Structure 1
Amino acid sequence: MAMAKASFLIIFTLAFCLALGSSKSHKYSKTISPSSLGLKKEKLSHLHFYFHDVLSGQNPTAVRVAAAAMTNTSRSFFGSVMMMDDPLTLLPDPKSKTIGYAQGIYASASQTEVGLLMVLNFVFKEGKYNGSTLSVLGRNAVFSGIREMPIVGGSGAFRFARGYAKAKTHSLDMNTGDAVVEYNVYALHY
Structure 2
Amino acid sequence: MPSILQITTFFLLIIFSHYLPFQTQATIFKTLENEEAQELGLNFKKEKLTHFRVYWHDIVSGPNPTSIPVVKSPKKSPTAFGLISMIDDPLTDGPKVGSKLVGRAQGFYGSACQKEVGLLMAMNFAFIEGKYNGSTITILGRNMVFSKVREMPIIGGSGYFRFARGFVQARTKYLNPNGDVIVQYDCYVMHY
Same fold judged by TM-score > 0.5?
Answer: yes
Structure 1 CA distance, aligned partners of 2:69 and 2:120? 14
Q: Does 1:65 align with 2:70?
A: yes
8 Å contact kept, 2:73–2:80: no
Q: Which residue of 1 aligns with 2:178?
A: 176
Q: Does 1:42 align with 2:47?
A: yes
Superposed, 1:30-179 pairs within 5 Å as 30-33=30-33, 35-38=35-38, 39-40=42-43, 41-70=46-75, 73-173=76-176, 175-179=177-181
Q: Alignment identity in percent?
A: 50
8 Å contact kept, 2:105–2:124: yes
Root mean square deviation, CA, Å: 1.9
- Between 13-22 and 61-70, the greater mean CA deviation after superposition: 13-22
- Between 105-114 and 38-47, the greater mean CA deviation after superposition: 38-47
Q: CA shift at 1:18, angstroms?
A: 4.1
Amino acid at match of 1:184: D
Structure 1 CA distance, aligned partners of 2:183 and 2:85? 16
Structure 2 CA distance, aligned partners of 1:156 and 1:30? 22
> Structure 2 stretches of 5 or more lacking a match?
none
Across the two proteins, how many residue pairs are aligned to each other? 182
**What CA deviation, in whole Å up to 9, does each residue of 1:68-126 have, x standing for no partner?**
321xx211110000000110111100101000010000000000111000000000000
- TM-score normalised to the size of structure 1? 0.88
Q: CA shift at 1:155, angstroms?
A: 0.6
Structure 1 CA distance, aligned partners of 2:184 and 2:115? 25
Q: 1:189 aligns with which of 169, 180, 191?
A: 191
8 Å contact kept, 2:106–2:125: yes
Amino acid at match of 1:123: A
> Structure 1 stretches of 5 or more lacking a match?
none
Q: Which residue of 1 aligns with 2:20?
A: 24
Q: Flag the 1:30–1:143 CA change in 2: closer, same or farther, 3 A.
A: same
**What CA deviation, in whole Å up to 9, does each residue of 1:163-185 have, x standing for no partner?**
00110001111x21110000100
